[in-house]
Chain A
Amino acid sequence: MKIKTLAFSTLESFLHNRLLLLVLVLALCLLTLMLYPLLQAKARTTGENQQAIASMVLEMISQVMSFSSGLGALLAAWGAADAFNTELKSGTVLAVMARPVKRWEFLLGKYLGVMLFMGCYVLVMLGLSYLMAWLAGVRVQASPLVLLLYPMVRYAIYAAIAMFFATLTNTIATMGAVFVIAMGVEFVAPDASAWMPKLAWLKSALYYVLPSTNLLTEGRFLSLRQASLKQVSWQEHAISLGYGLDFAFILLLLAMWSFHYRTLRKD
């Protein structure tokens, strides 16, 4: 009950965060602008180029999803850091923590609030993608559940990373750390360019330590068309999602541990 109260209060605080809302509105405007080339492509469709246009439209939708996905990761990290640090900065945490609330409950409530917000974000972005596909007259082959769950798990990882760093430092430093990790993930991915042989061990080590968010990109399912590639089984989905959730869970536990020993004062 207390966790639910904290989660909904966090969600409400996001809905009153003007900066966050401004970013969302700008993103929405940008996505709406992308409808223009999409409709243009649709208008050029003929019997001969139908296949190519459909492929192009799907690629565009995939890019829209990538954009919203990148923005989502940023929002998840920023939301988590801001939800935590704003409480400290304003001093509201003192009144909240004076209530019979355990520290882990507070952190979990904040985290779930971020995830509720990200859930709304994913739903809106997914709806927009389907709208774009419908306008362009193509069908998204990937299951909506996949397109919902994958970004949510990825955002859960970024929110947990940010939450952990937020218990140690301020929002700007937290975002810096998240950015470095996100970059690191790209550099150590198996398909990334090779490192110097001397540092191969470091690349392997970082690959195992850093979250493999590439595995959790829903974009790779968007461009799939029937019979073009082997369908991914639900078992494989479960393993990928389980991996992501496990990573997020560990980070969240670390954040709870760190917060447990942190002094609380108005910053």
Chain B
Amino acid sequence: MTTPAIEFRNVTKVYRKRTRGVEVAALTSATFSVFPGEVCAFLGPNGAGKTTSISMLMGFFFADSGEISVMGYPPGDVRAKSETGFLPENFAFYKYLNARRLLRFHYALSGRNKENVNLAISELLSKVKLSDFEKLKIGKYSRGMVQRLGVAQALLHDPKLLVLDEPTSGLDPAGRKDVRDVISALRAAGKTVFLSSQLLSEVEQVCDRVIIISKGRVVQSGRMEVLLGAADRVEILATAGSEGLEAKVAEWGGVTTRHGHGVTIVVPVDRKRELAELLWQSGQDVVHILPLRSSLEDLYMRTVGTEGGQA
């Protein structure tokens, strides 16, 4: 059996305020796994426990109970860290350094052989489109440039696992596409990516697995195609609608939309045959019947609702 790249088993973390004795459960019996080669989205409303989980995964926080393993090692273990690239949310740098010197500093800390370091850094800077700014002090970078540099430092030592906390935060649409392309390239190279993001549509495009967390509990976890693949509605396009169609469809919990080239009706999948027969009996042509797959946003909203306002 394949060892998961990331594994949480019944992990609980409670924050305690020393002075007031207040306890807040940040994570409660969280259990999930991410397997090698997967790109996994870690979603949840603000305050759901995402950053706490990522901090524990990186060995910054300690779990109160349960077990965590990263690449088969305990979190914080240098063997795990040597195979992990990390981009924290709101990445911070030594502002007096330039991009090349910062990457050299991180490269030295990664304990890798120094051969070809300059070439590797040049390639990375080119990949994140910072080649023209490599001599500029980081303190003068825009938010987007800092974020791109953060992505570069996470990729610096060619890690097997990437943990990216809001990788597209602060990036413009072109920058977001670049990061998406980088993640797709990482997936193609067989790397494991664990990312938290607020942008569900982007996550849906690049991820294989989804974990949704709410109020410190894992409320949904699984392969993207399994979670989104079960179509629960169908869309039927007909040449025209008979009288009383809208009322019938509404009774079934569906929606009817009339437009120039006919009528589009969306109904629950178990009403598909009844609706098609109703249309045929009234002399209409059925142009197409499409199963409707849920979007990640639908899944998210169904799972978490409007709690926290956003993902």
A residues contacting B by CB (< 8 A) are: 1-2, 5-6, 9, 12-13, 16, 90-92, 94-102, 261, 263-266
Q: Give the residues in chain B near A97, CB-CB below 8 Å.
A: 58-60
With A263-B62, A264-B60 known as contacts, the answer to whether A13 contacts B94 (CB < 8 A) is: yes
With A2-B108, A100-B110 known as contacts, the answer to whether A95 contacts B88 (CB < 8 A) is: yes
Chain B 44-84 near chain A by CB (<8 Å), digits 1 or 0: 00000000000100111110000000000000001101101
B6 CB to closest chain A CB (Å) equals 14
Q: List 9 A-B contacts (CB under 8 A).
A: A91-B90, A92-B93, A94-B58, A94-B88, A95-B153, A96-B109, A98-B81, A263-B60, A266-B92
Q: In the complex, A90→B61 CA distance in Å?
A: 18
Q: In the complex, A94→B60 CA distance in Å?
A: 8
Contact between chains at A95 and B106 (CB < 8 Å): yes
With A5-B108, A13-B96, A263-B60 already in contact, 7 other A-B pairs whose C-beta atoms are closer than 8 Å: A5-B105, A9-B105, A98-B88, A101-B109, A263-B61, A265-B55, A266-B90
Q: Give the residues in chain B near A13, CB-CB below 8 Å.
A: 94, 96
Contact between chains at B109 and A92 (CB < 8 Å): no
Which of A5, A16, A99 lies at the interface centre, i.e. has the most chain B CB atoms within 10 A of its CB? Answer: A99
Contact between chains at B60 and A95 (CB < 8 Å): no
A6 CB to closest chain B CB (Å) equals 7
Q: Give the residues in chain B near A96, CB-CB below 8 Å.
A: 109
Contact between chains at A265 and B109 (CB < 8 Å): no
Contact between chains at B111 and A1 (CB < 8 Å): yes
Contact between chains at B81 and A94 (CB < 8 Å): no
Name the interface size band of chain B. Answer: 20 to 34
Contact between chains at A95 and B93 (CB < 8 Å): yes
Q: Give the residues in chain A near B94, CB-CB below 8 Å.
A: 9, 13, 92
Contact between chains at B62 and A95 (CB < 8 Å): no
Q: Give the residues in chain B near A266, CB-CB below 8 Å.
A: 88, 90, 92
Q: In the complex, A100→B166 CA distance in Å?
A: 22
Q: Which 6 A-B pairs have the closest CB atoms?
A: A98-B86, A91-B92, A99-B109, A100-B82, A264-B60, A100-B78
- Asked if B141 is at the interface (CB within 8 A of a chain A CB), the reply is no
Partner of B92, one of A94, A101, A263: A94
- Asked if B35 is at the interface (CB within 8 A of a chain A CB), the reply is no
- Asked if B133 is at the interface (CB within 8 A of a chain A CB), the reply is no
Q: In the complex, A98→B91 CA distance in Å?
A: 12
Q: Give the residues in chain B near A100, CB-CB below 8 Å.
A: 78-79, 81-82, 109-111
With A100-B81, A264-B55 known as contacts, the answer to whether A95 contacts B90 (CB < 8 A) is: no
Contact between chains at B109 and A5 (CB < 8 Å): yes
> In B84-103, which residues have CB < 8 Å from any A CB?
84-86, 88, 90-94, 96
Contact between chains at B92 and A12 (CB < 8 Å): no
Q: Give the residues in chain A near B110, CB-CB below 8 Å.
A: 99-100
Q: In the complex, A23→B119 CA distance in Å?
A: 41
With A102-B78, A263-B62, A265-B60 known as contacts, the answer to whether A2 contacts B111 (CB < 8 A) is: yes
A219 CB to closest chain B CB (Å) equals 36
User: What residue in chain B is nearest A86 (Cβ atoms)?
Assistant: B94
Q: Give the residues in chain A near B106, CB-CB below 8 Å.
A: 95, 99
User: What residue in chain B is nearest A102 (Cβ atoms)?
Assistant: B78
Contact between chains at A91 and B78 (CB < 8 Å): no
A186 CB to closest chain B CB (Å) equals 33
Q: Give the residues in chain B near A102, CB-CB below 8 Å.
A: 78
With A94-B88, A95-B86, A95-B91 known as contacts, the answer to whether A101 contacts B60 (CB < 8 A) is: no
Q: In the complex, A92→B93 CA distance in Å?
A: 6
Chain B 265-287 near chain A by CB (<8 Å), digits 1 or 0: 00000000000000000000000
Contact between chains at B109 and A6 (CB < 8 Å): yes
Q: Give the residues in chain B near A12, CB-CB below 8 Å.
A: 96
Partner of B58, one of A2, A16, A98, A261: A98
Q: In the complex, A100→B94 CA distance in Å?
A: 19
User: What residue in chain A is nearest B59 (Cβ atoms)?
Assistant: A97
Contact between chains at A101 and B108 (CB < 8 Å): no
Q: Give the residues in chain B near A91, CB-CB below 8 Å.
A: 88, 90-92
Q: Give the residues in chain B near A263, CB-CB below 8 Å.
A: 55, 60-62
Contact between chains at B96 and A16 (CB < 8 Å): yes
Q: In the complex, A96→B90 CA distance in Å?
A: 14
User: What residue in chain B is nearest A99 (Cβ atoms)?
Assistant: B109
Q: In the complex, A16→B97 CA distance in Å?
A: 10
User: What residue in chain A is nearest B97 (Cβ atoms)?
Assistant: A12
Contact between chains at B84 and A98 (CB < 8 Å): yes
Q: Give the residues in chain B near A264, CB-CB below 8 Å.
A: 55, 60-61
Q: In the complex, A172→B278 CA distance in Å?
A: 78
B221 CB to closest chain A CB (Å) equals 25
User: What residue in chain A is nearest B77 (Cβ atoms)?
Assistant: A100
User: What residue in chain A is nearest B82 (Cβ atoms)?
Assistant: A100
B150 CB to closest chain A CB (Å) equals 8
